[in-house]
Structure 1
Amino acid sequence: MITAEERIIRSEKIKEYEVYLMEQEKSLSTIRKYIQDIKRMYKYFEEKELSKILLIEWKKLLAESYSASSVNTILAAANGFLEYNGWVDLKIKPLKIQKNIFCDEKKELSKNEYFRLIKTAEKLNNKRLSLIIQTICATGIRVSELSYITVEAVYKGKAEINNKGKRRIIFIPVKLCKILKIYIKRQSISKGCIFITKSGKPIDRSNIWREMKNLCEESGVKSEKVFPHNLRHLFAKIYYSEEKDLSRLADILGHTNINTTRIYTMESGSVHLRQLDKMNLVIT
C-alpha cells in the first residue's frame, strides 16, 4: 500500500531517476533538461504529499507563466518521474495545442540569406565558420553531430552518426568534400574531428551560435533567423521541395517520428498564399 511518505518528492529520488535516465542512454542535454524540470517541481511542492488535485493546480500555474509547448515539455519530464516512482495514477495530461501548419516567416532562413552568411564569414576571414555553416546545411546534420565530420569521413565521403541511441550514415556532397580537404591540409589536421579549437577540442555549439550571430549586421540577415538549427531546417525544406520524399528525409535527419520531419518542411503563410494565387480560381 502506498503511503504519504512514498509520494513525496525527495532529492535522493531525483538522483536515482537521473541514474535511471543515464542507464536508458538518454542524451546528456535531455537528462539535464529533465532533471532541471523535476527540480522545479520539487521546489514547488517541497515536502507536500503529491495528489492529482495539487498537480493539476501546478499545471495551471505553469500555463500562466510559460508557453503551451514549454509547459508540455515540463509535464513530460514530470510524468516520466512519476511513472518511474510507480505513481502512474498521478500523471497529468499535456495541454492541447492546435497544430500549426505554417512556419513563422520571421524566423525562416532563405537560401539567399544562407549564401550571404557564407560570403560574410569569408569576408571576415573566418573560413572555419564558413565551412561549418556549409557542412551543417549541405548534410542536414545537427550541430551536436558536427564532431562526426572527421578527416576519415571526408576521405570516405560519408560519416557514421551515433546520436540519441541511433546510428545512421550521412553522405558528404562531393563539392563539400573537396573544399574540406583543402581546409584539412591548410590546417595540418591529420585525423579526427575537423572543426576544432586552438587546443584541439571539438568546437562547442555555443561558440558556433555566437560566431553566427556576429555575421548578422554585416550580412544584413536578421538575428532571429541566424542559429545553427535553422541550417538543418533549410536543408530539409530544400530536400523536400526537390524530392517530395518525407520518409527518406526522416531517415536522413535521424527522426524516429515522421511527424517531427513534417515540422521541418512547413512553409510560410506567404508561400501558401502564392500557391493559392497560382490556382487561379477567382475571376477578375
Structure 2
Amino acid sequence: MTAELQTSLQDFLQYLEQQRRVSPHTVLNYQRDCQQLVDYCHQQSFNDWQQLKPADIRLFIARLHRKGLGARSIQRLLSAVRSFYHYLLKEGLVDHNPAQSVQAPKAEKRLPKTLDVDQMNSLLDNTPADTFVACRDRAIMELFYSSGLRLAELAALDLRDVDFGQQLVHIIAGKGNKGRVLPIGRTAIDALKVWFDKRDQNGLYQQQALFTSQQGKRLGVRSIQQRLAFWGKKHGISEHVHPHRLRHAFASHMLESSSDLRAVQELLGHSDISTTQVYTHLDFQHLAKVYDAAHPRAKKRS
C-alpha cells in the first residue's frame, strides 16, 4: 500500500544526492525524517501524497511531540517534509504542500557553549609538537581556532587548499556547497609548517590530504573528534572539547574584540545573519559578568 509513497521518497533522496549535491549526512537526515511520515501514512491508510492535508501533518507532529520528540527535532523534520513536498510539486505529483503552513513547537533558545581565552591558550600552548600525532593535532586545533572551520570542512582539506604566501585557506565546498576563503593566523601558520615538515619526514609528501594518519590515510571526522577530546581531558579542561566548540570560541572571541557581526558572519559562512547573532548573546553574558564584578553599585554585599 505504501509502495508508491516509498518510491517517491527514494526518488527525492536520489534527486538530493545527484542534482542538489547535498552531503551524504544531509541525505541521511532527510531519509530518517521523511520515513517517519511514510510510516504515519501507512498507519493512517494513505496511499497517495496528494491525500495529506495540513490537519494530517499537524496530527503527525502532535503525535511525535507527545512521544517526546524535541522542538528542534520537529522543526528539522518539518523542514524536510516541506522540501520533500516542494520536490513533489515540481514533479507534478501533488498540487499543494500540506506542511507549508504548519508551525512547529517553539524551541528554547540555547546558547552554544564555548571555551574562554584562557582555556584556549591552555589547550594550544600546552599541546607539544614533538611526535607525529601531537604535531598534527596541534596544527588541527590551531587551524580550527584561527579560522573557525566546520569539522567537515577541515577534514576535507587538501595540501593545495593552504596558501602560505597569502596566509589563506580555501574552503572548496562548505555547507550548502558554498566555498569561501579564510585568513589563517600567524600561530596557526607556524603550526602547519611544523606539521608539513613532520609529514615529509614520515614520507607522506605524496599524500594530497592535509591531515592524515601515520599510515597516510585521510583523517576522518570521528578521529578528529576523538583527538580533540583527548587533549581536552589531558589538559584538565572541564568542558568537553570538540571541533564545534573551537568554532564557537573563534566566533565569540572575534565578536568580543571587533563587534563586527557582518564580518564574523562571512568568516563563519553563515547564509543568515540571525544564525550569527547568537554570539552577541554570548558577548553580552561576558560583559554582564565584567559589570557585576567591577561596578561599585552592582556588587553584592558580603
TM-score where L is the length of structure 1? 0.84
Structure 1 window deviating more from structure 2 (167-176 vs 133-142): it is 167-176
2:142–2:191 CA contact under 8 A, matched in 1: no
2:254 corresponds to 1:245: no
1:124 and 1:116 mapped to 2: Cα distance?
Answer: 17
Q: Alignment length, in residue pairs?
A: 275
Query: Map of 1:73-222 to 2, 5 A cutoff?
Result: 73-86=76-89, 87=94, 88-91=96-99, 92-97=101-106, 100=109, 103=111, 107-119=113-125, 121-122=127-128, 125=131, 126-146=134-154, 147-148=156-157, 150=159, 153-156=162-165, 157-162=167-172, 163=174, 164-188=176-200, 189-190=204-205, 192-222=208-238
Gaps of 5+ in 1: none
| CA-CA distance at 1:148 after TM superposition | 2.4
Match of 2:74 in 1: 71
Letter in 2 for 1:184: F
Aligned to 2:217, the other structure's residue is in SS state: coil
1:35 and 1:121 mapped to 2: Cα distance?
Answer: 41
Output the aligned Cα RMSD: 2.9
2:15 corresponds to 1:13: no
Residue deviations 1:211-246 (CA, integer Å, cap 9, x gap): 2222343222235x3111111110011111111111
1:196–1:202 CA contact under 8 A, matched in 2: yes
TM-score where L is the length of structure 2? 0.79
1:152 and 1:15 mapped to 2: Cα distance?
Answer: 35
Residue deviations 1:163-216 (CA, integer Å, cap 9, x gap): 222121112223322221122112214363321123433211111112222234
2:298 and 2:197 mapped to 1: Cα distance?
Answer: 60
Gaps of 5+ in 2: 47-51
Letter in 2 for 1:235: F
1:149 and 1:121 mapped to 2: Cα distance?
Answer: 23
Match of 1:267 in 2: 282
1:207 and 1:150 mapped to 2: Cα distance?
Answer: 19
Relative contact order, CA 8 A, sep 6+: which one is greater?
Answer: 1
Letter in 1 for 2:188: L
| Closer, same or farther: CA 229–265 of 1 in aligned 2, 3 Å | farther
1:160 and 1:269 mapped to 2: Cα distance?
Answer: 32
| CA-CA distance at 1:151 after TM superposition | 5.3
Structure 1 window deviating more from structure 2 (19-28 vs 86-95): it is 86-95
2:144–2:246 CA contact under 8 A, matched in 1: yes
2:212–2:218 CA contact under 8 A, matched in 1: yes
1:212 and 1:137 mapped to 2: Cα distance?
Answer: 12
1:9–1:42 CA contact under 8 A, matched in 2: no
